[in-house]
Structure 1
Amino acid sequence: MNKKIFILIVGLMSISLVGIISIQIYWIKDAIKNKQQQFDNNVKIALARTSEKIKDREYSEFIQNTQEFFENNEYRTDAEINTYLFQQIDTTNKKKFSFGGTILAENFKIPGDFVNNDSIIIKRYTGKEDIYFSQVIKSKNSDFKSYIDENHLSTFKLYSDWNKQQLEHMFRQSKRIYPIDQRISNNELNFTIREELVKMNIIQGFKYGVYEDDLATQLKSGYFNIHPNDVNYPLLADDNGNSKYKLYIKFPDEHKNLLSGMVKILGLSLLFIGIIIAAFSASLYQLVRQKKISEIKTDFINNMTHEFKTPIATINLALDAIKNPKIISDEEKVKRYVKMIREENKRMHGQVENVLRISRLEKNQIEISKDATDMHDTIEEAIEHIQLLVDDKKGKVTSHFKAISTEVLGNQFHLTNIIVNILENAIKYSENSPKIDVYTESTNKYFIFKIKDEGIGMGRNAQKYVFDKFYREHKGNIHNVKGHGLGLAYVKEIIESHQGTVYVESEKGKGSLFTVKLPLI
């Protein structure tokens, strides 16, 4: 896949993922905000009903207590009677209307809880109204008009609006001298708030406090301090909604209960967000993995082509030489060229066998028989295999055997091969004369050996993939060091088949340290 196309696909997928997650988060925040707003509105409605309920109770008690003064003439000081009469003639319909009535104004001196035991005067207005409907009859021969009564209505009523205004004014003035805690009890306020909250389907615990001009009063539920976000409502407000008292309320577990009511929706949203992230991560991982595999396979094919090209060319040259009449008659030269062909053929066969062997290992098609194996002997045998290569480069392998227990349950052939592979890597990736140290140690459960070199080392990224099949770190020319990236993959497969572990520590320019841990018998 083209690198630009790959970056474009990853970029578009990332933007889409961020967009989807952002929308989900916005929706969740908006849902929580709406739920919070709805909750606050319901609380305000409950507080408004609480305030009205207490106000109505207080006013009803006042009216009930005041009513006896109007029913007892003892408190009436004087009375005044006024009459009135109005007339109107409708010439179109030939009707005459007469309005008449009597108004009784009574003064009541009502004692109150005022300074110096002052009293107040309340006027009560009652009256009788008479309404007459008359028909106007006009004579044909004169302008004389006569009136005939058709109907008469008489009513007696209390002028309640005026009295109500006086009583409300008296109520407001009389209550001004009382502290709020003498007008309302904590029990009443707590019970009323709870009752109104239940009507709004709010059953969680709450705390409240009443403040007068931002100063705390005795009406509160335990320790209470106001916060700018606390819901509040005027208490005992007048007809214009003005009041010096404010009822504040807060819910200690508000957010917990708010989220608990949305737990299913939030859970599903978070689940879907998790699925989207997991699907995106898996897709991105597969894309990167496939791209990496594609690059590794391309490198492998190039390496294999390069590795096979040399022995094939050598075999062709040897065959051409044998065909030469001068060479074919020389038995020694023919044997030398035949040996060269056999060695090159063996070399190609070994490379093919490496590929097939790692494939069979991954598919568990190779049965590895295990016996008691002395690891010190196995390591020494592996060192002997690569000693000529080390000597050719004027290098040195130093052993530091400190392990007390050395027997493991393993296959000596494969264990020897993995040690040889690690040692060969140490030789191949040493720019100067290779200096290799082999350390061994043992614990109660494990035999541990370490192979340290002073080669070119590798970066952190290479350390992550060094045990992957076909992986090889290179700079520019992939053929600067021969190999197919199968040796360390084979090492890992064999170690894991022996229930062991292998890992590498390395730093560029300072060499590498391979550590293998195998369980003891």
Structure 2
Amino acid sequence: MKKKLFVLLVVLMSLSLIGIIFVQAFFINNALKNEEKQFTSDVFRSLSLVSKAIEDKELLSYDKLYKEVTKSGKTPDSSEIRRLLIFESFNEETNQSTQFKSTITEESFKAPSLFFDIGIGTDSINIKKFISQSEINVFDHSPIDGQINLQPVQTSKDYSTMDELGRIFYKKDYRAVYKNYPVYKRISNEEVLELLESQFLLSGIKTAFEYAIYDKDLSTKIRSDNFELTPKSTIGIPVFLDNESRSNYSLYVDFPERKKYLLSSILGMIVLSIIFTIIIILAYSSAIYQLVKQRQISQIKTDFINNMTHEFKTPIATINLAIDSIRNPKIIGDQEKVMRYLTMIKEENKRMHAQVENVLRISKLEKNELNISKERVELNDLIEDAITHVELLVEDRNGYVKTHLEAGKSSVLANETHFTNVIVNILDNAIKYSEGEPKIDVYTENVGNSILIKIADQGNGMSKQVQKRVFEKFYREHTGNVHNVKGHGLGLAYVKRIVDDHQGHISVESEKGKGSIFTIKLPLIS
């Protein structure tokens, strides 16, 4: 995949993910607003029902007062306040007409205000009762003896305490009576609380609330202990309406945990949204990481193939030249030259074999198929032995390897062959990456129950970025297309795997142009 296409895909995927998150946030925000609107609507409806329940309670209270007055033996003053002709019809077949009348009669009592414990400073109050009477008269329009009878031939009457019209007059009267009655005598805290709780429960509102009744802007005795009037969150409705449907009193409720309650109503959706978003982000991050990793591996493998091809090309060419030379009739008879070319073929063959072994060794380590048996070894002795493998290479370039083996205790549990290869690989790298004479110092020292091995060189050194990746498989520092240093990026990867398998730790400190120091820490055995 080309770099530009890869970047474009990453950008598009990132924008899509951000878009999904914003869309989810938008819908959650909308859902919260809808819940808030529904909550406010439910509260208003409940308060309206509470206001009506308070009015009905006062109406019943007024009716109770009326009954107490009538029981006292007082005689009412009666007057007809409304006569209403509602219906009249004529039947041609029977020659009869039907007439419907409705009458409302008012019964009024005067009684001392103290009798009702109203206490509003008046000597007496009017208590009224409204009686509804309906009358149906049937008139026969057939002449009798040449004259029409004007008297009804059939009459029926019905009396009831209240109809809709009577109720209107009744409400107007009781409102006038209670107009100046103190609010705390009209209703109690317990009654308001009970009404609110029952209505909120029926409306499905299950959260704590505070309430209060205000007379204009002044608080009354009807209130809960922790009520605070806050314009943004408090909801109110008029109560104790007068005959013009106006009132100085307002019932307010406030919900201290309103936000929490509203969030809890959509909590399931929020949690699922967050979980799915996290899953998408993790999956997306993993996909991007894998794409980047695969791209890096692809590049590394390409470099590895190029390096391996380059390194195999030289020995194969050398072997072909040596074979062609041996086949030459002039040389085949020269025993010394034949032996020289055969030795050359042998060395180049060993070199290619070593390259293949390194690749196979790393492959086995990755699959945990490499059997590493450990035994007690003296690390100081093992280091001395490893140095002998590279001494000739160092001397050939007029360099040196100095040892500073100051560790008094050097017994470790290790595989002699593999750990020798570890030291040799690090020394070989120090030689390869020294442009001039290789100058290498090897140190050992005891730190607690561990032994430290430090291999310091004065070679080319590494940048911070290279240091972070130097132990990765196939990784080699990019030097353009110049293969001035032979290798395939497996040596230090192998070193780290072996050190890790020995419960050790390896690190590197380096500065570009000033050399590197590789430090290995291994646990000692008694």
TM-score bucket of the superposed structures, by smaller chain: 0.7 to 0.9
Alpha-carbon RMSD across the aligned residues, in angstroms, is: 4.2
Distance 2:236 2:204 in 1: 19
**1:455-466 matches, cutoff 5 A:** 455-459=459-463, 461-466=465-470
Instruction: Say yes or no: does 1:196 pair with 2:164.
Output: no
Instruction: Say yes or no: does 1:109 pair with 2:113.
Output: no
Q: Kindly tell me: are residues 518 and 114 of structure 1, through their superposed partners in 2, closer, same or farther at Cα, counting changes over 3 Å?
A: same
Task: Give the one of 490, 496, 504 matched to 2:494.
Answer: 490
Instruction: Say yes or no: does 1:146 pair with 2:153.
Output: no
Identity of aligned residues (%): 45
Q: Is the 8 A contact 2:505 2:520 kept in 1?
A: yes
Instruction: Say yes or no: does 1:245 pair with 2:247.
Output: no
Match of 2:412 in 1: 408
Q: Is the 8 A contact 1:128 1:154 kept in 2?
A: no
Distance 2:91 2:395 in 1: 144
Distance 2:515 2:442 in 1: 14
User: Displacement of 1:304 after TM fit?
Assistant: 0.8
Range moving further from structure 2, 394-403 or 481-490: 394-403
Distance 2:397 2:476 in 1: 22
Range moving further from structure 2, 468-477 or 237-246: 237-246
Distance 1:250 1:83 in 2: 48
Q: Secondary structure at the match of 1:117?
A: coil
CA deviation map 1:3-26 (0-9, x unaligned): 344334444444444444445554
Task: Give the one of 184, 188, 200 matched to 1:185.
Answer: 188
Distance 1:337 1:277 in 2: 63
**1:339-378 matches, cutoff 5 A:** 339-378=343-382
Q: Kindly tell me: are residues 168 and 286 of structure 1, through their superposed partners in 2, closer, same or farther at Cα, counting changes over 3 Å?
A: same
Distance 2:406 2:483 in 1: 38
Task: Give the one of 480, 491, 496 matched to 1:476.
Answer: 480
Distance 1:356 1:98 in 2: 117
Q: Is the 8 A contact 2:135 2:158 kept in 1?
A: no
Task: Give the one of 318, 322, 331 matched to 1:318.
Answer: 322
User: Displacement of 1:486 after TM fit?
Assistant: 0.6
TM-score (norm 1): 0.81
Q: Is the 8 A contact 1:111 1:119 kept in 2?
A: yes
Match of 1:420 in 2: 424
Instruction: Say yes or no: does 1:233 pair with 2:236.
Output: yes
Distance 1:400 1:219 in 2: 93
User: Displacement of 1:432 after TM fit?
Assistant: 5.2
Distance 2:401 2:354 in 1: 26
Distance 2:524 2:259 in 1: 60
User: Displacement of 1:375 after TM fit?
Assistant: 2.0
Q: Kindly tell me: are residues 265 and 382 of structure 1, through their superposed partners in 2, closer, same or farther at Cα, counting changes over 3 Å?
A: same
Match of 1:54 in 2: 54
Q: Is the 8 A contact 2:104 2:166 kept in 1?
A: no
Q: Is the 8 A contact 1:122 1:166 kept in 2?
A: no
Distance 2:368 2:417 in 1: 17
Q: Is the 8 A contact 1:114 1:174 kept in 2?
A: no
Q: Secondary structure at the match of 2:492?
A: helix
TM-score (norm 2): 0.80
Distance 1:268 1:100 in 2: 68
Q: Kindly tell me: are residues 510 and 67 of structure 1, through their superposed partners in 2, closer, same or farther at Cα, counting changes over 3 Å?
A: farther
Q: Kindly tell me: are residues 326 and 22 of structure 1, through their superposed partners in 2, closer, same or farther at Cα, counting changes over 3 Å?
A: same
Q: Is the 8 A contact 2:120 2:180 kept in 1?
A: no
Q: Is the 8 A contact 1:21 1:273 kept in 2?
A: yes
Distance 2:169 2:370 in 1: 108
Q: Is the 8 A contact 1:361 1:493 kept in 2?
A: yes
Structure 1: runs of 5+ lacking an equivalent? none
Distance 2:91 2:182 in 1: 63
Q: Is the 8 A contact 2:207 2:255 kept in 1?
A: no
Q: Kindly tell me: are residues 163 and 44 of structure 1, through their superposed partners in 2, closer, same or farther at Cα, counting changes over 3 Å?
A: closer
Q: Kindly tell me: are residues 83 and 473 of structure 1, through their superposed partners in 2, closer, same or farther at Cα, counting changes over 3 Å?
A: closer
Range moving further from structure 2, 458-467 or 484-493: 458-467
Structure 2: runs of 5+ lacking an equivalent? none
Aligned length: 516
